[in-house]
């Protein structure tokens, strides 16, 4: 989920030939496959010092289990409440939960004011790093309080009141965070739309939640050049009539079209406003934000999060999973604030916890491939949180790039957004973490609001590729079709078996879709259906396999796209791969693999397809052997870096590739389709 744009790839454009399937599947091969799936046996114990001084120790699991509501009440005490709650949880109207009933709280006060009141006003909240080199800004908590107060006053003056929605469409600049907190401060739910989305996508989200004000900027810096944002807002205004005012930050100074009736400069409205603002306390269940997730079908779902429970979850998990030491740690999450990871782990969790963090505007490789590692070196980053897709991109460039930088300050590395394949995990730990740092592979979703399944860095002996177990306070399981817990060593559906404070409350404007999407699959048991497949290993640790729709069924056997990808990526010639299950008249589904070769592998040689197929067979077993392997120059990814398997499935099944509007680069599909044409 963190935004990482695909890094440039080399010129190795060749196309493979389809590989004929010659073996039939036998029971023996199934057994072999399962054995191989569970063969990853490397373990990384927590460093002794970290374990001794950990914020959360092993006993927390039992304590939380013995009294779950009591445990969460204790976590809610991390926050400053205006009125304390009188009931922790009301779950009588399932699946509509209420947490901390009767409590009142202001999220912005918790993220900013209280740190200033506690004498930490001079502490740096944000080390902002603009993409142009030397364009930096350090913002203390006291300064942040002033700016958030000014923005709250400015939004009020623009007519935004409690309960009104505000859309935020911005680059990674401090004003984006200020705008979010200003909304929270006045009780106006924000909906942040990722800056890479088109005008259409922006307009449909604004329309759906009826946002009356949009906060944007003239543009931002990407890949060494200013890119524009305001024109998309102008265009969105032609597609929805909901927008009354547009508040515009001047970031790049580029020319913008201007409508005096609607457009307002941030530096006038916010810059001219008072720094005095008294935050109002809102009900714990007051809506904090709506975050749209790109559903695979239909219109995007507006996931609604409320205030008290969400902030409790974000603050607790950020402290527990990153073993946060707020006085000494320097934290950096590379996500974009346009995604839930940016909400929970740049804005609400870290700021509620009073941390010093880095915020970076630009692309990972601009102006040089080692930009990220230089930022870690320059600011002494200790906690670093990014996505496997980024790690794999850096692997492609080779370790020589990060090796040039001193990253000895790092003490914990985080991963989020997709399963991390063991090769990427080991590279991350070794090349970036100097073999010292635990890796927290954090499983969660927009809907869950906060991390659900993850190692605890001072407790868990990490296994490369496993998110391990539900954190204290969370109860997750892997179940079969009927909702029965599967035994260790088997796979099924990932579920969360009891409610948690940061859970989504509904889908904006669509309670039925909420109940249906998440709670109808295992209605009898009352479980939350996450939509992911997972398996439990012999120790009961959880390995998330990816979305259920990415799990293939070949001859009645369930196979994970992720595991085959991981096998392919472990071949020395392979940089990246994507696997889909294509419908097949003989086997139900068949495995089709798309592979990007490493630069140094050239075109891979004449036998590359057979070589890779044999490799998968060796790594996982004959059952996983792809029907077809295609060598491609690039993979189709969304702007958030997720591989669009749907499109690859279309190609594999010989269909036209339909709608490509969410692709970061739509021309990629032409290249891949052309490759398909020549390879079959």
Feature table: binding site for Mg(2+)? 569, 571, 574
Least spacing, CB of residue 447 vs ligand WTA, in Å: 7
Residues annotated within a binding site for CoA: 222-225, 341, 555, 617
Nearest 10 degrees: CA dihedral of 340, 341, 346, 351?
70
Q: Which is nearer to ligand WTA, 131 or 565 (CB)?
A: 565
For residue 377, what is the DSSP state? H
The residues near 569 (Cβ < 8 Å, ≥ 6 apart) are: 392, 421, 423, 424, 575, 576, 577
Least distance in angstroms from the C-beta of 416 to ligand WTA: 5
Structural contact between residues 322 and 313, judged by C-beta atoms closer than 8 angstroms:
no
At 570, list the tokens: 């472990």
E strands of 522-670, at which residues?
528-536, 542-547, 551-554, 557-560, 574-584, 588-597, 628-631
Q: Which of 59, 95, 30, 69 is closest to 518 using CA atoms?
A: 95
In the bound state with ligand WTA, the residue whose beta carbon lies nearer, of 341 and 506, is 341
Six-digit token string for 649 = 């499935």
Q: Among residues 112 and 530, whose Cβ is nearest to ligand WTA?
A: 530
Shortest Å distance, C-beta 436 to ligand WTA? 21
Longest dimension (CA), the chain: 75
Beta strands in 256-409 (DSSP E): 263-265, 282-283, 287-293, 301-306, 330-333, 356-360, 383-386
* CB neighbours of residue 244 within 10 Å: 15
Cβ proximity to ligand WTA, 419 vs 438, nearer residue: 419
DSSP label at 431?
I
Q: Which is nearer to ligand WTA, 103 or 641 (CB)?
A: 641
* Nearest approach, Cβ of residue 2 and ligand WTA (Å): 8
CA atoms within 13 A on the CB side of 349: 27
Q: Which is nearer to ligand WTA, 146 or 418 (CB)?
A: 418
Shortest distance (Å) from residue 477 CB to ligand WTA: 15
Q: What is the 3-state secondary structure (H, E, C) of 1-48?
A: CCCCCCCCCCCCCCCCCCCCCCCCCCHHHHHHHHHHHCCCCCCECCCH
| Three-state secondary-structure class, residue 443 | strand
CB of 548 to ligand WTA, least distance (A): 9
Of 79, 133, 131, give the one whose Cα is nearest residue 107.
79
- Cβ at position 543, least distance to ligand WTA in Å: 9
Question: Within 13 Å of residue 236, how many CA atoms lie on the same side as its CB?
Answer: 33
Cis ω for the linkage preceding 95 (within 30 of 0): yes
Min dist. Cβ of residue 441 to ligand WTA (A): 5
Question: How buried is residue 510: exposed, middle or buried, by Cβ count under 10 Å (0-12/13-18/19+)?
Answer: middle
Return phi, psi of residue 453, to 5°.
-125, 125
User: What is the rounded distance in angstroms from the CA atom of residue 278 to the CA atom of residue 271?
Assistant: 18
Rank residues 73 and 303 by Cβ distance to ligand WTA and give the closer one: 303
Nearest-approach distance from CB 467 to ligand WTA, in angstroms: 5
Asked whether the beta carbons of 247 and 178 are under 8 A apart, the reply is no
* Alpha helix stretches (DSSP H) within 187-261: 199-209, 230-237
Q: How far is the CB of 282 from ligand WTA (least distance, A)?
A: 25
| Choice between 6 and 29, CB closer to ligand WTA | 6
Q: Given the complex with ligand WTA, which of 285 and 441 has the nearer CB atom?
A: 441
CB-nearer residue toward ligand WTA: 110 or 442: 442
Binding residues: 222-225, 341, 417-419, 441-446, 532, 547, 555, 558, 569, 571, 574, 617
According to DSSP, the residues that pair with 677 across neighbouring strands are none
Compute the distance between CA of residue 166 and CA of residue 405 in angstroms, rounded to an integer.
Answer: 41
Give the residue ranges of the annotated binding site for ATP: 417-419, 441-446, 532, 547, 558
- The alpha carbon of 574 is separated from its chain's Cα centroid by a whole number of angstroms, namely 25
Q: Between 150 and 341, whose beta carbon lies closer to ligand WTA?
A: 341
User: Where do contacts with ligand WTA occur on this chain (CB under 6 A)?
Assistant: 1, 293, 340-341, 416-419, 441-446, 467, 530-532, 544, 546-547
Q: Which is nearer to ligand WTA, 533 or 675 (CB)?
A: 533
Task: Report the nearest approach of ligand WTA to the CB of residue 465 (Å).
Answer: 9
Encoded tokens for 367 = 């102006």
Nearest to 142 by CA among 154, 129, 126, 156: 126
SS3 632: coil
Residue 578 C-beta: closest distance to ligand WTA, Å:
14
């Amino acid at each position: 989920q963190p935004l990482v744009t695909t890094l440039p790839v080399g010129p190795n454009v060749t196309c493979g030939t389809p590989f004929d399937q010659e073996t039939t599947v036998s029971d023996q091969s199934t057994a072999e496959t399962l054995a191989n799936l569970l063969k990853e046996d490397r373990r990384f114990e927590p460093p002794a010092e970290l374990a001794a001084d950990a914020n959360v120790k092993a006993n927390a699991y039992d304590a939380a289990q013995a009294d779950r509501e009591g445990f969460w009440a204790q976590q809610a005490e991390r926050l400053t409440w205006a009125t304390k709650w009188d009931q922790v949880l009301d779950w009588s109207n399932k699946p509509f939960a209420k947490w901390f009933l009767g409590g009142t709280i202001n999220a912005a006060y918790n993220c900013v004011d209280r740190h200033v009141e506690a004498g930490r006003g001079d502490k740096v909240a944000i080390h902002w790093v603009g993409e142009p080199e030397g364009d930096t800004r350090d913002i203390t908590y006291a300064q942040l309080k002033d700016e958030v107060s000014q923005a709250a006053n400015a939004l009020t003056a623009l007519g935004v009141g409690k309960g009104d929605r505000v859309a935020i469409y911005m680059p990674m600049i401090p004003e984006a965070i200020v705008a979010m907190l200003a909304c929270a401060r006045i009780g106006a739910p924000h909906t942040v739309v990722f800056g890479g989305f088109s005008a259409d996508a922006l307009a449909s989200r604004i329309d759906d939640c009826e946002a009356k004000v949009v906060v944007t900027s003239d543009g931002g810096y990407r890949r060494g050049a200013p890119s524009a944002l305001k024109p998309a807002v102008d265009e969105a205004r032609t597609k929805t009539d909901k927008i009354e005012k547009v508040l515009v930050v001047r970031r790049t100074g580029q020319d913008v079209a201007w409508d005096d009736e609607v457009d307002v400069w941030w530096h006038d409205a916010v810059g001219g406003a008072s720094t005095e603002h008294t935050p109002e306390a809102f009900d714990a269940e007051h809506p904090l934000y709506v975050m749209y997730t790109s559903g695979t079908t239909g219109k995007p779902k507006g996931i609604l999060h409320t205030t008290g429970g969400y902030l409790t979850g974000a603050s607790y998990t950020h402290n527990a999973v990153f073993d946060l030491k707020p006085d000494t740690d320097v934290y950096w999450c590379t996500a974009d604030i346009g995604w839930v990871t940016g909400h929970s782990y740049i804005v609400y969790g870290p700021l509620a916890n009073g941390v010093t963090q880095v915020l970076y505007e630009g692309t990972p490789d601009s102006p040089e491939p080692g930009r990220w590692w230089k930022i870690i070196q320059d600011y002494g980053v200790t906690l670093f949180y990014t996505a496997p897709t980024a790690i794999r991109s850096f692997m492609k460039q080779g370790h020589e790039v990060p090796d040039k930088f001193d990253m000895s300050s790092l003490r914990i590395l985080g991963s989020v957004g997709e399963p991390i394949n063991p090769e990427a995990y080991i590279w991350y730990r070794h090349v970036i973490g100097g073999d010292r740092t635990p890796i927290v592979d954090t499983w969660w979703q927009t809907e869950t609001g906060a991390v659900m399944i993850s190692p605890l860095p001072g407790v868990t002996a990490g296994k490369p590729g496993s998110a391990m177990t539900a954190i204290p306070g969370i109860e997750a399981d892997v179940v079969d079709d009927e909702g029965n817990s599967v035994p260790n060593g088997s796979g099924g559906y990932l579920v969360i078996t009891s409610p948690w404070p940061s859970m989504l409350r509904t889908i904006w404007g669509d309670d039925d879709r909420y109940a249906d999407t998440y709670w109808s699959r295992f209605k009898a048991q009352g479980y939350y259906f996450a939509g992911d497949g997972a398996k439990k290993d012999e120790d009961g640790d959880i390995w998330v396999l990816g979305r259920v729709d990415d799990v293939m069924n070949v001859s009645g056997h369930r196979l994970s796209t992720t595991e085959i990808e991981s096998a392919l990526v472990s071949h020395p010639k392979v940089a990246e791969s994507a696997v889909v299950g294509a419908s097949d008249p003989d086997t139900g589904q068949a495995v089709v693999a798309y592979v990007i070769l490493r630069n140094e592998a050239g075109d891979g040689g004449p036998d590359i397809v057979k070589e890779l197929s044999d490799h998968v067979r060796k790594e996982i077993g004959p059952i996983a052997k792809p029907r077809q392997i295609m060598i491609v120059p690039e993979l189709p990814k969304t702007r958030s870096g997720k591989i669009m398997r749907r499109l690859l499935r279309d190609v594999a099944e010989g269909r036209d590739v339909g709608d490509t509007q969410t692709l970061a680069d739509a021309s990629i599909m032409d290249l891949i389709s052309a490759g398909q044409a020549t390879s079959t």
